[in-house]
Amino acid sequence: MATITQKITPFLWFDRQAEEAAKFYTSVFKNSMVGRITRASKAGFEDHGLPEGTVMTIEFKIEGQRFIALNGGPVFKFNPSISFLVACNTKEEVDGLWEKLSQGGSALMELGEYPFSEKYGWAQDRYGLSWQVMYIGIHEMKQKITPTLMFVGEQCGKAEAAINFYTSVFNNAEVGDIFHYGKGEEPDKEGSIKHADFTLENQGFAAMDSARKHDFNFNEAISLMVECVNQEEIDYYWEKLTTDGGQESVCGWLKDKFGVSWQVAPAILLEMLRDRDKEKVERVTNAFLKMKKFDIGELKKAYGGNK
C-alpha cells in the first residue's frame, strides 16, 4: 500500500529537460532532494516518443515540498497562469533566489519595492516556469512555496468561485484571507480577487484575478496530481472535478470547469511503473494508456499478468 504524505502534487510538463530541471531546482532551494524516477517502456512509444529506459518522470522536493517533472515532449508550454510564490524572511534570500531563478529567463515584474512588499519580483526561469519571490519579514510561514492560480481572459472574475469550489471538494480545506480590488483599480473590476489564499488537504494555495491583457491561460503544462488510495477516492475526485462543464481526458487527466488541469491517479501506479520487471511495466503501461479514469482493479490485473 502506497503511503501518501502530500495529497496534491504540482506536476510539471517539460519537453525533454525534466531531469535537468529537477537538478537545477534542487540546487537553488534548501531542504531539497531528487527522488524516484520512472522510465519509459516500449509501450506507448508512439505517444511519448521516448526511447526505452529514458527518464519519463522524476520526483523532487524543494523546501520539503514534492513536485513531479515529466518528459512529455514539446506539446505544452509553461505560462504565468500558474506560478509558485516563494515567501522569504530576509531580503538577502530574495536577492539570492531572484538571481538564480531569473538567470537565463525573463522578468515579468522587476525586482523592487511594491505596495504589498518591500522586495518582490516575478520571473520566468530558463524553462519558462514562473516564480514570485517575495519578502515577508518576520511573518511566520506555514508553507514556503505556494502554487498560485491567476484567472485571466474568459476566466477572469472566477477566482473566488474557484476557491469556493475547490474547498468544497477537498478535505482539510478552508478559505483564508481574501483581498478584493476596489474602485479605481481598472481594468480590474471592483470586487474581483486581488489576492486570496486557501487550503486544500492542509496544503496552501493562492489565487487572483487579472483583467489585464494576457495571451495565455491554464493548460496542461502544469497540472495538480491528486493521489488516491482506492477506487472510491478516484471515483469521487473524478466526478467532482469534471462536474458542471469539466472535461475528461486520458490517463487520469481532466480539466475542471475553470480550465485548470488535474490528474486523479492511484498512488500505487507510480510504484508499479518503477518495478524492475520490464514485462510488468509494459503490461501496466498498455493498460492505463487505454483508460480515461483509472481503474485500480484493471491495473492490478495487468501488473499481476491476469487477463
CATH of domain 8-73+230-304: 3.30.720.100
pLDDT band at 224 (very low <50, low <70, confident <90, very high): very high
DSSP string, 122-189: EEE-TTS-EEEEEE-TT---S-SEEEEEEE-GGGTT-HHHHHHHHHHHSSS-EEEEEEE--TT-TTSP
Higher pLDDT, 264 or 47: 264
The boundaries of every CATH 3.30.720.110 domain in the chain are 82-209
Q: What is the pLDDT of residue 53?
A: 86
Q: What is the pLDDT of residue 291?
A: 94
The boundaries of every CATH 3.30.720.100 domain in the chain are 8-73+230-304
Is CATH 3.30.720.110 what the domain over 82-209 is classified as, yes or no? yes
Cα angle for residues 257, 83, 197 (degrees, 5° grid): 70
CA dihedral (97, 129, 83, 86) in degrees, to 10, reads: -10
Mean pLDDT along residues 277-299: 92
Q: What is the pLDDT of residue 267?
A: 93
CA dist., res. 158 & res. 161, Å (int): 5
pLDDT in tens, 20-65: 999 999 999 999 999 999 888 877 676 777 888 889 999 999 999 9
CA dist., res. 199 & res. 85, Å (int): 15
Is 98's pLDDT higher than 70? yes
